[in-house]
């Protein structure tokens, strides 16, 4: 059984050999050949590492004289002396990288040690020791040694450089393999020379296509053949190509490959599925639903009923129409439906039909092809309907959509496909539509201001959001939640006084929850102490009422504001009834409310 000391020594020797395996494999055969060529001479040759540890030993023959040399180098006194000499030589090499110290001779009486340095990048990494009798000195062998050692140094440097290149190539290979972009290259004959894992996944092919013509590898007409013909590439160009499995939709970049003479030798094709592109765009644009059913505050019967409807709508794919006054949280309900549905992992894409003029709204919804608006090659762009693929399209204020666009949207929803502006190809869509309107769409249909066919399409499920004035029991909950948010953000502890709460319950809240949240924010900013009092709740309404009492003479603008307030107070905040009293339309009244911050 080996002692612990012997085991440690054996392990140490093995580690040294493993670390220098490449040098042993490189230098060993050369030293063996040297021994064979000069077998008539009597010498021993030894390779050591930079720490004087023996890596390999060889001999010219099995003669008695060579045996004497072998016994000498095994002698502990000799070994210690030789190690000290090699350490001294290594120090000399470190201090001076000139050729003066590449060979040093040590005299042991009738025996000589010629020590040669193996350098890597001008640094001593190993030594070759030639041990022979003085009588052998001056032979051809001596003249061969510097050349052999220099050759080993050069080969070692080449090995290291090749190793570095191999590591770099492996790293580049890992980057290419890890890329989500598909990459495929062909030579000038159209033969596939390379394809990465993402390319195989996107094209649904395997590694066997390498070596085959591109037309054998894919089931559609390869655009890369046109690049081979014209020798002109392109960047981020969109392609819809017909294949046996339907239309394949890519964004592609083609790069001509050229040799050192500038001659084209092939093409590198970089491509990505349009679905992956839209997913990335939606992620970057924040096309995600932030709110869920848990963000809907209230314990009233109306709110409990809405939560039931959200769960019901989330359990199917049918279109949903959400109607209600401005500020009642229609957008939060739409997001809650999305997050409660099987499409929750998909995008939630919002389009505000009131905020965009007609021409911009069309391109925003349907997208456009390259050259649709000018002759410049600015590239096409997918519309929001396309971007919502696999998710939910939320059309806010859908009642403001022009009639001709309503017809186009109706066709897209019926055909489950869109045609971009300036295009001819139908692009399949997979969306769930949720619409919201503060205008009664049924009245608009009766007035021929909204298409009946579209109304029927988007109104499969209907949710009516109640105004805040009809659920007074929720006012305190919403006020507390809003106030707690500001306290948490700013590290304060402000509270509403009982008088301030009474004031909240007396107001009719024509702007609903949004107006209540603004009123709490205003009061929070005004109040310097931790108690919010009625005087801190001086919103636009109370200011107008004060003006009426103090000064009966008013400007036309002030009188108009008072008339709007009085009509809203009289109708309990009912927009339709207040508009009839004032003799104006609902949209005009909404405009006046926004103008006077009501």
- Rounded Cα distance between 363 and 561, Å, is 38
Q: In Å, how far are 16, 48, 353, 414 from 19, measured between CA atoms?
A: 5, 12, 70, 71
CATH annotation of 179-281:
3.30.450.20
**Torsion angle of alpha carbons 223, 229, 230, 232, nearest 10°?**
60
Q: Of 100, 92, 148, 85, nearest to 124 (Cα)?
A: 92
May I ask the CATH class of domain 18-162? alpha beta
Cα–chain center distance at 196: 19
The contacts found for 70-79 with CB under 8 angstroms, 24 or more apart, are 70/44, 72/108, 72/111, 72/131, 73/44, 73/46, 73/131, 78/108
Q: Kindly provide the residue ranges of all beta strands, DSSP E only, lying in 259-341, ordered along the sequence.
A: 264-273, 320-324
Least confident of 94-98, 185-189, 280-284, 425-429: 94-98
- Rounded Cα distance between 559 and 575, Å, is 19
Which 3 state secondary structure label does DSSP give 160?
Answer: helix
16-27 per-position pLDDT tens digit: 777 888 888 888
- Rounded Cα distance between 420 and 379, Å, is 13
The answer to whether the 18-162 and 286-466 domains have the same CATH topology is: no
Question: How many other CB atoms are there within 10 angstroms of residue 306's CB atom?
Answer: 24
Res 545: pLDDT: 45
289-318 per-position pLDDT tens digit: 888 999 999 999 999 999 999 999 999 999
489-548 per-position pLDDT tens digit: 999 999 999 988 888 888 878 889 998 999 999 989 988 999 988 888 855 444 444 444
Res 513: pLDDT: 92
- Rounded Cα distance between 111 and 584, Å, is 120
Residues 6+ apart with CB under 8 A from 80: none
Q: Of 231, 225, 230, nearest to 213 (Cα)?
A: 225
This prediction has a pTM of 0.62
Q: Contact, 334 vs 397, CB < 8 A?
A: no
Res 293: pLDDT: 92
Question: How many other CB atoms are there within 10 angstroms of residue 574's CB atom?
Answer: 19
What are the backbone angles phi and psi of residue 71, rounded to the nearest 5°?
-60, -35
Highest mean pLDDT among 109-113, 385-389, 394-398, 533-537: 394-398
Res 89: pLDDT: 53
Domain extents in the chain? 18-162, 179-281, 286-466
The first and second tokens of residue 294, run together, are 């848990």
- Rounded Cα distance between 17 and 54, Å, is 9
Least confident of 40-49, 82-91, 306-315: 82-91
Q: Contact, 396 vs 353, CB < 8 A?
A: yes
Q: Is the dihedral of CA 193, 198, 204, 205 positive or negative?
A: positive
Q: In Å, how far are 92, 183, 248 from 253, measured between CA atoms?
A: 57, 10, 16
- Across 414-433, b (16+ Cβ under 10 Å) vs e yields eeeebbbbebeeebebebbb
321-337 per-position pLDDT tens digit: 999 988 999 999 999 99
Has residue 549 got a pLDDT over 60? Answer: no
Res 304: pLDDT: 94
144-169 per-position pLDDT tens digit: 888 888 888 888 888 888 887 877 77
- Rounded Cα distance between 117 and 146, Å, is 9
Q: Contact, 365 vs 355, CB < 8 A?
A: no
What are the backbone angles phi and psi of residue 366, rounded to the nearest 5°?
-105, -15
Res 555: pLDDT: 66
β-bridge partners, 417: 428
- Rounded Cα distance between 414 and 427, Å, is 13
The percent of residues above 70 in pLDDT, for the chain, comes to: 84
Res 418: pLDDT: 92
Question: How many other CB atoms are there within 10 angstroms of residue 124's CB atom?
Answer: 21
Has residue 113 got a pLDDT over 50? Answer: yes
Question: How many other CB atoms are there within 10 angstroms of residue 380's CB atom?
Answer: 17
Q: Contact, 348 vs 287, CB < 8 A?
A: yes
| Domain 286-466, CATH among 3.10.400.10, 3.40.1360.10, 3.40.30.10, 3.40.50.300 | 3.40.50.300
Res 289: pLDDT: 84
Mean pLDDT to the nearest integer, 408-420: 93
The percent of residues above 90 in pLDDT, for the chain, comes to: 28
* Mean residue pLDDT across the chain: 82
Q: Kindly provide the residue ranges of all beta strands, DSSP E only, lying in 7-92, ordered along the sequence.
A: 43-49, 54-59
Mean pLDDT to the nearest integer, 121-142: 80
- Rounded Cα distance between 441 and 398, Å, is 9
Res 251: pLDDT: 82
Helix (H) or strand (E) holding 538, with range, is none
Has residue 124 got a pLDDT over 50? Answer: yes
Residues 6+ apart with CB under 8 A from 400: 353, 354, 439
257-282 per-position pLDDT tens digit: 988 888 899 999 888 877 776 666 66
443-490 per-position pLDDT tens digit: 999 989 999 999 999 999 999 999 998 898 999 999 999 999 999 999
Q: Contact, 213 vs 190, CB < 8 A?
A: yes
The first and second tokens of residue 498, run together, are 């009982």
**Residue count of the chain:** 598
- Expressed in angstroms, the distance from the first to the final Cα of the chain is 96
- Rounded Cα distance between 523 and 529, Å, is 11
207-243 per-position pLDDT tens digit: 888 888 988 888 888 888 888 888 898 888 877 777 7
Res 308: pLDDT: 95
Beta-carbon-side half-sphere exposure of residue 382 (alpha carbons within 13 Å)? 26
């Amino acid at each position: 059984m080996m002692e612990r000391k012997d085991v440690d020594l054996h392990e140490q020797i093995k580690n040294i050999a493993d670390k220098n395996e490449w040098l042993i494999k490189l230098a060993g055969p050369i030293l063996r050949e040297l021994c064979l060529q000069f077998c008539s001479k009597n010498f021993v040759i030894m390779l050591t590492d930079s720490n004087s540890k023996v890596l390999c030993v060889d001999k010219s023959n099995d003669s008695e004289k060579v045996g004497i040399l072998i016994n000498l180098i095994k002698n502990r006194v000799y070994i210690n002396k030789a190690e000290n000499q090699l350490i001294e030589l290594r120090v000399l090499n470190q201090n001076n990288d000139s050729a003066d110290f590449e060979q040093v001779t040590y005299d042991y009486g009738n025996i000589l040690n010629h020590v040669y340095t193996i350098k890597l990048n001008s640094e001593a990494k190993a030594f070759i020791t030639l041990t022979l009798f003085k009588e052998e000195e001056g032979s051809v062998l001596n003249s061969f040694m510097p050349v052999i050692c220099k050759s080993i140094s050069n080969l070692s440097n080449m090995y290291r450089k090749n190793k570095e290149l191999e590591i770099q190539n492996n790293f580049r290979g890992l980057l290419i393999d890890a890329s989500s972009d598909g990459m495929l290259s062909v030579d000038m004959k159209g033969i596939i020379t390379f394809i990465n894992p993402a390319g195989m996944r996107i094209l649904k092919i395997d590694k066997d296509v390498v070596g085959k013509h591109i037309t054998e590898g894919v089931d559609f007409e390869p655009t890369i053949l046109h690049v081979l013909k014209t020798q002109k590439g392109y960047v981020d160009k969109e392609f819809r190509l017909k294949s046996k499995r339907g239309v394949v939709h890519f964004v592609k970049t083609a790069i001509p490959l050229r040799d050192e003479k500038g001659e084209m030798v092939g093409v590198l094709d970089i491509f990505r599925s349009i679905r992956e592109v839209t997913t990335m765009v939606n992620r970057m644009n924040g096309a995600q639903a932030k709110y869920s059913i848990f963000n809907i505050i209230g314990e009233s019967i109306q709110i409990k009923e809405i939560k039931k409807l959200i769960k019901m709508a989330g359990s199917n794919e049918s279109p949903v129409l959400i109607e209600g006054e401005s500020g009642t949280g229609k957008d939060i309900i739409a997001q809650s439906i999305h997050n409660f549905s099987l499409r929750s992992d998909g995008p939630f894409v919002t389009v505000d039909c009131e905020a965009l003029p007609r021409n911009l709204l069309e391109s925003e919804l349907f997208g456009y092809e390259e050259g649709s608006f000018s002759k410049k090659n600015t590239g096409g762009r997918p519309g929001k309907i396309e971007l919502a693929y696999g998710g939910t399209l939320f059309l806010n204020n859908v009642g403001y959509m022009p009639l001709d666009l309503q017809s186009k949207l109706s066709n897209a929803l019926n055909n489950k496909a869109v045609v971009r502006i300036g295009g001819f190809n139908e692009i399949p869509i997979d969306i769930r539509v949720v619409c919201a309107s503060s205008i009664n769409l049924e009245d608009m249909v009766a007035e021929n201001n909204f298409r009946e066919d579209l109304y029927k399409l988007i109104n499969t499920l209907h949710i009516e959001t109640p105004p805040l004035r009809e659920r007074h029991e929720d006012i305190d909950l919403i006020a507390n939640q809003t106030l707690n948010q500001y306290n948490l953000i700013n590290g304060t502890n402000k509270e509403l006084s009982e008088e301030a709460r009474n004031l909240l319950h007396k107001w009719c809240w024509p702007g609903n929850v949004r107006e209540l949240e603004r009123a709490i924010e205003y009061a929070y900013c005004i109040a310097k102490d931790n108690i919010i009092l009625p005087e801190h709740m001086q919103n636009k309404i109370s200011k107008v009422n004060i003006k009426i009492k103090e000064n009966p003479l008013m400007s036309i603008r002030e009188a108009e504001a008072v008339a709007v307030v009085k009509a809203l107070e009289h109708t309990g905040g009912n927009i339709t009834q207040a508009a009839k009293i004032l003799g104006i339309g609902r949209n005009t009244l909404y405009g006046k409310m926004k103008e006077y911050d009501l």
